[in-house]
Homo-oligomer: A and B are copies of this chain.
Amino acid sequence: MTALVFLDADVSTGRIANAATAQLSVLDQGVTRGDGIFESMLYTKGVVRKIDAHLARLRVSASTCDLILPHEERWRAAISTAVAAFDAATPSDEAVVKLVATRGPEGTSEGTCWVMVSAAAESGRLQRENGVSVMLLDRGYDSRAAERAPWLLMGAKTLSYAVNMAALRHAKKQGVDEVIFTSSDGIVLEGPTSTVLLAHRDGDIKRLITPTLETGILPGTTQGAIFEAARAAGWELGYGPLTPEHLMDADGVWLVSSIRLLAPVNSIDGTTLTLDRELHAELTAMVNNIA
């Protein structure tokens, strides 16, 4: 069951709707043009995690895409309504709270905004527990494209995810679980729905590294939360440019995202990676404590 709540100017707490019936216009530019933005948050143990970070990133995506969003308080109210409706119907250990804002039907100036809550797919938990095999795929863009071409909307989380989905299908056809995109000039970017982390241990020094945002990747809210916890725990933090060799040489590589949390990368392009179990346990504890 999916709990669905539309943001509605007439209903301050949001308008509850039935997700099992049709609710959207075929003229909505969210579908005709993939023209909208979204966020996915984990709802577990009665808490929607990192809600501030996700609402902040939604605002950045909206600004990049020239979308005007309803006031943040209306999002928070709709999230509360949706979560309560979900809990009343089908409580679940882990659920996904998805926020969507589209440009609305063609010919109108009113966007369409909704919150939906549904049970998390099994795949996130499985990736977290078993790790993932990864293949590197070229994202086509060079690592300078984002700064010179803002109309490419890099760094915005838009509904135009067809390429991300195609990359995952391409990997699965080769029997591989996941993808890490590289730029056309060989720089490590991100997964289709995840951020890349790597770690090193050097005596007592633990170092956590993620690709630099200047490559045009999405700023990861989970990466951000882990970095904060790692800093507090005395880790050194670093920001790429990273090459595939950096991944191969690390003491651990992970894909992180809001729903799957922290999934260790077992192999890249068929080559088995090292995983320092102690680093993995420490990072897992950090990610489990994200509020």
List the interface of chain A (C-beta within 8 A of B): 2, 4, 19, 21-36, 38, 65-66, 98, 100, 102, 114, 116, 137-142, 145, 148-154, 158-167, 169-170, 184
- Bound CA–CA A251/B255 (angstroms): 53
Most buried by B among A29, A34, A98, A163: A34
Which residues of B lie under 8 Å from residue A161 when comparing CB positions?
32-35, 160
Q: A22-B23, A26-B24, A34-B159 are in contact. Are A152 and B165 (CB under 8 A)?
A: no
Chain B nearest CB from A258 CB (Å) reads 15
Q: Could you name 6 residue pairs across A and B whose Cβ atoms are closer than 8 Å?
A: A24-B24, A33-B164, A141-B184, A142-B184, A151-B169, A160-B162
- Bound CA–CA A154/B23 (angstroms): 31
- Bound CA–CA A28/B26 (angstroms): 11
Q: Determine how many copies of this chain the complex contains.
A: 2
DSSP majority for the A interface? mixed
Whether the pair A26, B145 counts as a contact (CB closer than 8 A) is: no
Which residues of B lie under 8 Å from residue A154 when comparing CB positions?
140
Chain B nearest CB from A197 CB (Å) reads 23
Whether the pair A30, B31 counts as a contact (CB closer than 8 A) is: yes
Whether the pair B26, A100 counts as a contact (CB closer than 8 A) is: yes
Which residues of B lie under 8 Å from residue A162 when comparing CB positions?
33-36, 65, 153, 158-160
Which residues of B lie under 8 Å from residue A65 when comparing CB positions?
162, 166
Whether the pair B163, A153 counts as a contact (CB closer than 8 A) is: yes
Whether the pair B22, A169 counts as a contact (CB closer than 8 A) is: no
Chain B nearest CB from A14 CB (Å) reads 13
Whether the pair B159, A26 counts as a contact (CB closer than 8 A) is: no
Which residues of B lie under 8 Å from residue A142 when comparing CB positions?
140, 142, 184
Whether the pair A4, B33 counts as a contact (CB closer than 8 A) is: no
Which residues of B lie under 8 Å from residue A98 when comparing CB positions?
32
Whether the pair A31, B151 counts as a contact (CB closer than 8 A) is: no
